[in-house]
Amino acid sequence: MLLEIKNLSVEFPGTPTPLVAVHELGFGLARGEVLGLVGESGSGKSVTSLAIMRLLPPQAIIRGEIRFAANDRAPQDLLQLGAEEIRDLRGSGISMIFQEPMTALNPVMRVGEQIAEAVRAHSLISRQESWKRAVEALREVAIPDPERRASDYPHQLSGGMRQRVMIAMAIVNRPQLLIADEPTTALDVTIQAQILDLLAELRAKFGLTMLFISHDLAVVSKVADRVAVMYSGNLVELAPRAEIFSTAAHPYTRGLLKAVPTLKTARGRPLETIEGTVPPLRDVPPGCGFEPRCHLRVPECARALPPLIEIAPGHWARCPVANRPRAL
């Protein structure tokens, strides 16, 4: 395993009770694998990725382990690393791309220089050499005329091109793990498809391992080998992509699937949506978080959080009522 998360919980202090953004989360990522992490807004996806990057604000209370095997070394718990060690790892071992490149790019610095700076942060090379590497990275993400584009400022580029610049910056130091947090959410559909193709190409070329996060199961299904579904800070289902689509067990996953358009969806018929909304995290009931919206609920569901159970080899679900994989 390149990455192994065990019992990860993240709380933010609050009154009368702390807000539990992520609750005893666990999953692993094998080298070269793409794991899709899906769930509605507020389910704890970004908090999970920021915990891996050690970028959560200081008031966050983090428990558990995030084991990462950098460069085939024995796994280390990222939560135990010192500030300098984690800085070394960021960008070179693990890097991240975000939804909105404009907030991550420096508006008053040429994009080539921003990438070159990321190169120099991890190796002792000259400005000229790092600029060359930056141009090369822009070429790798298929930016046309990269020598010229490298001298552009972020505002001179389209949204899609800016996201390519972010990806160039993320891969320039050849990280082993790339975390992509809603990398296509801010883009229109055509550009979104191009960015997904690019990520698939880069994955094949560099053997990237990827944690791909999206609220959109249709997008996740295009890139992920396995899919993890989160609801209110809990992992509710985890399975190979094909199984999620053929035989999802958890009522929430099944609801998400019904909202995904497929070739079989009758034209003109509105897509189904899951009734109700995600409760504010402070109001999540003590039992299954999905209980207020679930058509299969029984009285026990509200009493205690159901355990995550392996219902078929490699297929886990947190619902004792729908505890076997079923065809949709």
Ligand X SMILES: Nc1ncnc2c1ncn2[C@@H]1O[C@H](COP(=O)(O)OP(=O)(O)O)[C@@H](O)[C@H]1O
Binding site for Mg ion (CB under 5 A): 45-46
Specify the residue, 258 or 297, whose C-beta has the smaller distance to ligand SF4.
297
Does 137 contact ligand SF4 by CB under 6 A? Answer: no
Token pair recorded at residue 21:
């953004």
Number of Cβ within a 10 Å radius of residue 120: 17
Does 306 contact ligand SF4 by CB under 6 A? Answer: yes
Distances in Å between the alpha carbon of 288 and those of 170, 230, 233, 294? 37, 12, 11, 10
Closest separation in Å from C-beta 285 to ligand X: 16
Specify the residue, 97 or 311, whose C-beta has the smaller distance to ligand X.
97
Q: Which residues bind ligand X (CB under 6 A)?
A: 12, 19, 21, 39, 41-47, 57, 281
Using the rule CB under 6 A, which residue among 187, 288, 308, 311 binds ligand SF4? 288
The reply to whether omega before 270 is within 30° of 0 (cis) is no
Query: Residue 70's binding partner, choosing from ligand X, ligand SF4, Mg ion, none, with beta-carbon cut-off 5 to 8 A by kind?
Result: none
Look up tokens 């505002």; give the residue: 155
Does 294 contact ligand SF4 by CB under 6 A? Answer: yes
What does the CA dihedral 74, 76, 81, 84 come to, rounded to 10 degrees?
A: 40
Query: Residue 57's binding partner, choosing from ligand X, ligand SF4, Mg ion, none, with beta-carbon cut-off 5 to 8 A by kind?
Result: ligand X
Question: Rounded to an integer, what distance in angstroms lies between the CA atom of residue 95 and that of residue 208?
Answer: 11
131 HSE (CA, 13 A, CB side): 10
Look up tokens 């999970």; give the residue: 48
Among 66, 71, 67, CA closest to 56: 66
Q: Within 243-272, which residues bind ligand SF4 (CB under 6 A)?
A: 250-251
Does 98 contact ligand SF4 by CB under 6 A? Answer: no
Under the rule (CB under 6 A), what is the footprint of ligand SF4? 250-251, 288, 290-291, 294, 296-297, 301, 306, 319-322
